[in-house]
Structure 1
Amino acid sequence: MDPPDWLERRQVTVYAVAVVLAVGVGVGRPGAASWIERLIDPTLAILLYVTFLQIPFVRLRRAVSNGRFLAAALGMNFLVVPVVVWGLTRFLPGRPTVLVGVLFVLLTPCVDYVITFTELAGGDAEQITATTPALLFVQLLLLPAYLWLFVGREVATVVEAGPFVEAFVSLIVLPLSFAWLTEVWAERSVRGDCWQRAMGWLPVPMMGATLFVVIASQLPRVRGSIVGIAAIVPIYVAFLVVMPLLARTATRSLGMDVREGRALVFTSVTRNSLVILPLALALPAGYELVPAVVVTQTLVELVGMVALTRVVPAWLLPGPDEPAAGMQTG
């Protein structure tokens, strides 16, 4: 058993330790949140760099031409998800700021750590990577339209392109470029090959580090708003349950293979909270609760993603040699 495989078999333990440590720091040292928060983007960038290194670029080039997966990802995120979100938010209490926060985060598909979670679950991470430009561009166009439709023009006008573009460059373009350069170096140099092999140790530890910095930095934001945002936790949990089931249905309807199906599940359920948070923090007076609503989704989602990396391959979309009761009929 090689070292990365050894680590992947123990990934849940690594993540559990990271979450426990993060909660301890978030509760015991809330004053550290501001400087830990500065580590989120660089930690995510390193995580995505080592994830991209696991994807041979010849497969990534092939993934770009898969129009069926792109259409499925766009359809799930921008046709199915808004309907599900509209239905789930009917149960929210009549607080416009809470509704705005939920819409901000649930209507925007993730373009960063979804790639890593897909890879950990045995999904087609190169397909997710190939769709990120389209997902980012379309959400930037449609988020104002959905906000206008659900809550009115006043909120729709606050959406700006800047955070989306900045996140795409720093979290996708740069790590992907460095990964490509590393692959070229590894093909031409023994030292480069050693470097690439060494990086194979890092996806699981870096995911643990990402869980730590996100939870430790954001937990203090939520603690003071527990009462105001308690009602939204069941909505986030319901979203984590409903979307994978709908994505599995779409996978079977479209005749996708298992790896594509797992990728569709993760792009359908994982949200863009780390990019949306700066938008939430920049909202005008009267929307002070929105960042806490967004952060709550992040915390719920991270726990859910760790669970889904096991549930999806073991039960929801098992491989041909892994029969599961949920897939034996129909």
Structure 2
Amino acid sequence: MNAKERLQRRQVSVYAVAVLLAVGLALGRPDATPVVQRFIDPVLAVLLYVTFLEIPFVRLRRAFRDARYVAAALGMNFLVVPVVVFVLTRALPPRPVLLVGAFMVLLTPCIDYVITFTDLAGGDAELVTATTPALMLVQLSLLPLYLWLFMGEGIAEAIEPEPFVEAFLLVIALPLTLAWLTELWADRSAPGERWQVAMGWLPVPMLAATLFVVVASQLPRVWDSIGQVATVVPVYVAFLVVMPLLGRFAAGALGMDVGETRALVFTSVTRNSLVVLPLALALPAGYELAPAVVVTQTLVELVGMVVLTRVVPAWLVPDVSESAARADVASRE
């Protein structure tokens, strides 16, 4: 096992260290929050660039042709999830600032570390990556509509389109284009190939850096309003329990294989907190608590992902062929 493989195998520990360091900085130097917050979009853009580089575009195009999976991912995230979110959030206090934060994060499917956790669980990360642009475009279009349906016209009008467009251009379009150009460069020259190999070391460190920046910049908000923010935690936990089960059921109904099923489970449950955070920060006066509600979901989800990367392959979506092979080896011994 080379150094890169060892880093990938220990990536959850790396993320845990990053979060702990961020907590230390946020609580020890809360005055550093405004400075750290400026790095959210840049580090997120770099994270997506190195993530897109992990999967060659030839295979990416092939994966995107899997119409069944793409339709299932879109259906789960934009038809099933809104119903689940609406039901779960009935338990929250009727406070717009809490509801808008919860709606913003729960109604937007993840487009970054879902790829990492899908891969850790043995799912088809190529399929997840292939659907990323579609998921981002659709959520940018539908989030204002969902907020209008769930909360009324006032909050929908408060969501300015500029932050959404900026998020798509910076976080999706630019990294995706640069990754495609890098792949072309790597195919045509040795320096390009060396650059691509070097970038292959960065997905784990960049995700750790992104988590560090987000938690360090926003934890003081969470800490200062912990009594109010804590009310959304049971909703986030319930979402982490319900959606994997529904994803597994949908995949079974569609006859998906193990890799596809695990991919659908993770794309159904992981949320877009890192990308949504800049949008929550752009909300008008009176919604200052919304970013804390969003970041709280990040912290809850990270713990949930550690659990799900073990529960999904071991229990929810086991590989029957692998289990049979191990049983056969054991019987021969």
The normalised TM-score by structure 2 is: 0.89
What is the CA–CA distance in structure 2 between the aligned matches of 1:184 and 1:210, rounded to whole Å?
A: 27
Deviation string 1:99-137 (CA, Å, 9 cap, x unpaired) is: 222112211222233333333433323322322332223
Offset of 1:189 from its aligned partner?
Answer: 2.6
Give the Cα separation in 2 of the matches to 1:46 and 1:282.
22
Q: How many residues align?
A: 324
Give the whole-Å Cα distance in 2 for the aligned partners of 1:311 and 1:6: 22
Partner of 2:227: 227
Distance 2:240 2:192 in 1: 40
The alpha carbon displacement at 1:49 in A equals 1.9
Mapped to 2, the partners of 1:278 and 1:12 lie a distance apart of 25
Structure 2: any 5+ residue segments left out of the alignment? Answer: 325-333
Equivalent residue runs for 1:168-317 within 5 Å: 168-317=168-317
Shift of 1:300: 1.8
Letter in structure 2 aligned against 1:27 = L
Matched with 1:41 is 41
Quote the offset at 1:4 in angstroms.
2.3
Q: Find the aligned partners of 2:8 and 2:278 in 1 and give their Cα distance.
A: 32
Report the CA distance between 1:223 and its aligned residue. 1.0
Map 1:79-158 → 2, pairs under 5 A = 79-158=79-158
User: In the alignment, is the contact (CA less than 8 A) between 1:112 and 1:172 conserved in 2?
Assistant: no
Deviation string 1:66-125 (CA, Å, 9 cap, x unpaired) is 211111011101111111111111211232321222112211222233333333433323
Identify the residue that residue 76 of structure 2 maps to in structure 1.
Answer: 76
Superposed CA RMSD in Å reads: 2.1
Letter of the aligned partner of 1:269 in structure 2? V
**What do residues 194-243 of structure 1 show as CA deviations (whole Å, max 9, x unaligned)?**
33222222222222222211111111111111111111111111111211
Q: What is the rounded CA distance, in whole Å, between the counterparts of 1:204 and 1:322 in structure 2?
A: 28
- Structure 1: unaligned runs, 5 residues or longer: 325-330
Q: Distance in 2 between matches of 1:148 and 1:277?
A: 19
Shift of 1:18: 1.4
Deviates more, 1:82-91 or 1:262-271: 262-271
User: CA, structure 1 residues 210+173, in 2 after alignment: closer, same or farther (shift >3 Å)?
Assistant: same
Contact 1:112 1:171 in 2 (8 A): no
1:51 positional shift: 1.7
**Which range moved further: 158-167 or 12-21?**
158-167
Distance 1:240 1:123 in 2: 18
Deviates more, 1:260-269 or 1:81-90: 260-269
The superposition leaves residues 245-301 of structure 1 with CA deviations (integer Å, 9 ceiling, x where unpaired) of 211111111111222222212221122223333332333333332222122112222
The answer on 1:9 being equivalent to 2:9 is: yes
Partners of 1:6 and 1:58 lie apart in 2 by 27
- When structure 1 is superposed on structure 2, of 5-14 and 181-190 the one drifting more is 181-190
Task: Work out whether residues 214 and 295 of structure 2, in 8 Å CA contact, stay in contact via their aligned partners in 1.
Answer: no
Once the two structures are TM-superposed, the CA of residue 166 in structure 1 deviates from its matched residue by 1.6
Q: Taking structure 1 as reference, are residues 10 and 95 closer, same or farther at Cα in structure 2, changes over 3 Å only? A: same
Seen in structure 2, the aligned counterparts of structure 1 residues 189 and 320 have a Cα distance that, compared at 3 Å, is farther
**Identity in percent:** 72
Question: For 1:231 and 1:137, how far apart are their aligned partners in 2?
Answer: 30
Normalising by structure 1, what TM-score? 0.90
SS at match of 1:111: coil
Shift of 1:322: 4.5
Q: Which residue of 2 aligns with 1:160?
A: 160
Equivalent position SS for 2:158: coil
Secondary structure, counterpart of 1:157 in structure 2: helix
Cα distance in 2, alignment partners of residues 63 and 89 from structure 1: 34
Alpha-carbon deviations, 1:6-28, whole Å to 9, x = none? 11221222122112111111111
